[in-house]
Structure 1
Amino acid sequence: MTTSHSLTAEHLTLGYGDRTVVESLDLAVPPGKITVIVGANACGKSTLLRSLSRLLSPRGGRVVLDGREVHRMPAKELARTLGLLPQSPVAPEGITVLDLVGRGRHPHQGLFSRWKHEDDVAVAAALEATRTTELADRSVDELSGGQRQRVWIAMALAQQTDLLLLDEPTTFLDASHQVEVLDLLTDLNRDRGTTIVMVLHDLNLAARYADHLIALAGGGLHAAGPPAEVLTEDTVRTVFDLESRIIEDPVSGRPLMLPIGRHHVLSRPAAARD
């Protein structure tokens, strides 16, 4: 794996129908790092990720990978470098876990090439990493939401790309499995140099696992940089319309956001009230 790939958005404008979601956005994804995109609902996080992977064509501007516009690159060539796990993907009816994960190997196969030993190795490693090996012969339709999510992540890992984009990879997972998946992605980044870009809803998990944090608001880039610089009380107020306090996470040393609800009352022990 290599950490030298360059992925940027230049004056990017995105939308659906008559609605513009992102307007004239510029950003650069740090190579070899974990980037996490955060923001309020409907701010354009998933839309941006779709455009970075060329699933959504821009209305203006462009997405550039290693000096080439991604929307002008052959699909299979792009898929050997950049992989995407979209939000709520749909599996073909009746497909087994093994077959679905195996589809991650398609970009590495030519028109007439056959399945190779290295494909078996990649699929087995992806199943083992996501703890889904025991599910290999089961139909994806039979799995729980959390199991399906881990299988989709296995398919993305089997693709073995240098850049991996994931839209809410912790969806449907309980707290334990959320941390497990994010630890897995961190290992992938550290061991293989894979550049990872993902959308997360949980600000504290985003701050703990990100090297680079991107906060979107108002159709544009509000802030980008190390979590300690981006996750501030002002950012939370502006981006999420929420009052908060930022303290140091005692586990990671990263910023930790404590929300302050409108009905929050600082209670005192009973003895102190008497």
Structure 2
Amino acid sequence: MPAAHALAAEHLTLGYGDRVVVSALDLTVPPGEITAIVGANACGKSTLLRSMSRLLTPRAGRVVLDGKAVHRLPAKELARTLGLLPQSPVAPEGITVLDLVGRGRHPHQGVFSRWNERDDAAVAAALEATGTADLADRAVDELSGGQRQRVWIAMALAQQTDLLLLDEPTTFLDVSHQVEVLDLLTDLNRTRGTTIVMVLHDLNLAARYAHHLVALAAGRLHAAGAPAEVLTEETVRVVFGLESRVIEDPVSGSPLMLPIGRHHAEHHGATLQ
């Protein structure tokens, strides 16, 4: 089973150029659980994930992994512990699915170690788990958006890290494949104990699949905790500017957000803020 790594943001401030995107944020990722980061567009979700994987250097504060600042860890050492699937990854032109997924094994290759049976098994398992084994010999740039997304997820799985960060892993996927991917990540968490942090747009999927929700509003932490504590009508109003009703999901028992459109709110006499 993976080690229970401690990942946290300490008074983190992030930005691009003159623009501050995340301000003075403190966040602890529960080890061995699935955390979903939610919030409106441009609230800092992807920026936070980029910093947690050390792709973005903080303006202030730090991201800490097991007591050490991630920006000071050797790249390969970090890559053996923490994997990232960014929002819009770009594959080298002409690369095949098998070769791309195989790149997930690079952090495990040392000066004296070469590709071995364990690497073959990791790649095969990742292809099988994502339903992309039959695409192994295809060029990545020939695939549909949904197929490419599943291949990128396979590469992240092949890395076999104890911590996995995914920025909108259900992008380009239809509803069926969205559920398949989230079920896959749930199985990974249950069977291997992998700590997963993912940015999701769909509030209800986040509440159903995550143990821990983090809601950002304008670059600040609005709420963090169990889905039943975080996904409330007040949170939806503040974070998304949307009136809603939150009920219990009859299938999962998790909170289920029902948006109230302006027409329905006016029809029923509700007041929109």
- State the TM-score, normalizing by the size of structure 1: 0.96
Instruction: Give the conservation status (yes or no) of the 8 Å contact 2:44–2:218.
Output: no
Partner of 2:101: 101
Q: C-alpha distance in 2, partners of 1:266/1:174?
A: 32
**1:33: which partner in 2?**
33
Give a deviation string over 1:9-52, Cα, whole Å, max 9, x none: 00000000000000110000000000000000000000000000
Name the counterpart of 2:80.
80
Residues 152-205 of structure 1 deviation map (CA, whole Å, 9 limit, x = unaligned): 000000000000000000000000000000000000000000000000000000
Q: Do residues 201 (structure 1) and 175 (structure 2) align? A: no
1:130 match: 130
Instruction: Report the AA paired with residue 200 of structure 2.
Output: L
Q: Distance in 2 between matches of 1:98 and 1:175?
A: 26
**2:161 maps to 1:161:** yes
- 1:59 corresponds in structure 2 to 59
Structure 2 distance, partners of 1:144, 1:234, is 39
The whole-number CA distance in structure 2 between the counterparts of 1:133 and 1:2 is: 26
Q: Distance in 1 between matches of 2:214 and 2:105?
A: 30
Task: Name the aligned partner's letter for residue 227 of structure 1.
Answer: P
Report the CA distance shift for 1:4/1:265 in structure 2 as closer, same or farther (over 3 A): closer
Query: C-alpha deviations, 1:117-165, integer Å up to 9, x for none?
Result: 1000000000000000000000001100000000000000000000000
Give the drift of 1:218.
2.3
What is the letter of the counterpart of residue 169 of structure 1?
P
The root-mean-square deviation of aligned C-alpha atoms, in Å, is 1.2
1:1-274 equivalences under 5 Å are: 1-264=1-264
1:75-114: CA deviation from partner (whole Å, max 9, x where unpaired) = 0000000000000100000000000000000000002421
Aligned to 2:271: none
CA contact (8 A) 1:214 1:224 kept: yes
Answer whether contact 1:38 1:201 (CA < 8 A) is retained: yes
Superposition TM-score, scaled by structure 2 size: 0.96
- In structure 1, give the amino acid aligned to 2:169: P
The 3-state SS of whatever aligns with 1:91 is: coil
Give the match's secondary structure for 1:264.
Answer: helix
SS in 1 for 2:264: coil
* Large movers: runs of 4+ above 3 Å: 265-268
Gaps of 5+ in 2: 269-273
Aligned residue pairs, count: 268
Query: Does the CA-based 8 Å contact 1:3-1:195 persist in structure 2?
Result: no
- Structure 2 counterpart of 1:68, which letter? K
